[in-house]
Amino acid sequence: MRWGVLSDIHSNLEALEAVLRALAARRIDGYLCCGDIVGYGPNPNEVVGRLAALKPLHAVSGNHDLAVVGRMDLEWFNAYAQAAVVWTRWKLSQEAAWFLEALPERLETKDFTLVHGSPRDPAEEYLLTAQQFIDNLAHFKKFPCFVGHSHLPWCFGVEASQPPPADWGKAPLSPVEIRKVELSDGQKIGIPRGFPWVLNPGSVGQPRDQDPRASCAVFDDETRDYELVRVAYDIPKVQAKMQEAGLPAFLATRLSYGQ
């Protein structure tokens, strides 16, 4: 199957629609979503509705989704994120709240693992270093593991070489043996079967890698190709909606710069 991989949509409907159009042109069979569906942006209900209609869909909750439905403390967040969480709670429909409440924090199929932050700490950890990747190996058995949270399209993994050990969690690995790839638009990497990889598709609705275009990825579980896709969308339209909604100006401005 060819999977469209989404994360950190953050109530940005224009970015989500642009990404779904780009993925439709790439013959996608199903969708994965690594959480933070809401928070920051102006269209939580519309984004939840659009996402919920995708079939088949595997999705997990992110820290913003958890906070909006009262399952994570607001203290964890900075002032801008807190303001957006409070606004989203006020705006959220009952139907959208039920969808978010029903999401698991971790999902495992026979082919992959799905979490928001990291396998050992799905709600909070930002997986940014080779050592963190190694420290997470004991916490997931189905590869690859798709993550979000950092809003950076970075990947970590082990290249296929020797026969894989019986238990990756006990394999004596050092950070220099870990491959890290910071993917850019159109870049494709092969994910070897049986070897652990963590793949972050970047953020649909609030990229932070200095490329303001919406970010997503395509994973083909037969050819094992993983490709990053960047998509331009109408940023000024989203910013105007955010201003009208009274969301913090900083959150709107940063969309122009992808940071």
| Residue 103 near residue 65, CB atoms below 8 Å | yes
User: Count of residues binding Zn ion (CB under 5 A)?
Assistant: 2
Which segment (2-10, 76-84, 159-167, 178-186) binds Zn ion by CB under 5 A? Answer: 2-10
Please report whether residue 8 would count as binding Zn ion according to CB under 5 A: yes
Is 65 near Zn ion (CB under 5 A)?
Answer: no
Q: Which residues pair with 219 in a beta bridge?
A: 3, 226
125 near Zn ion (CB under 5 A):
no
- Distance in angstroms (rounded) separating the CA atoms of residues 178 and 163: 16
- The phi-psi region of residue 190 (left if phi > 0; otherwise alpha if psi is between -120 and 50; otherwise beta) is beta
Across the beta sheet with 113-115, what order do the strands follow?
106-108, 113-115, 145-146, 197-199, 154-157, 179-182
Least CB distance from residue 6 to Zn ion, whole Å? 12
Shortest distance in whole angstroms from residue 195 CB to Zn ion: 27
Stretches 3-11, 91-99, 172-180, 227-235: which one binds Zn ion (CB under 5 A)? 3-11
148 versus 196: smaller Cβ distance to Zn ion: 148
Question: Is 205 in contact with 9 (CB distance < 8 Å)?
Answer: yes
* Least Cβ distance, residue 16 to Zn ion (angstroms): 14
Pairwise CA distance, residues 119 & 232, whole Å: 31
Nearer to Zn ion, 36 or 227 (CB): 36
Site map (CB under 5 A) of Zn ion, residues 11-50, x = contact? -------------------------x--------------
Three-state secondary-structure class, residue 145: strand
Residues binding Zn ion (CB under 5 A): 8, 36
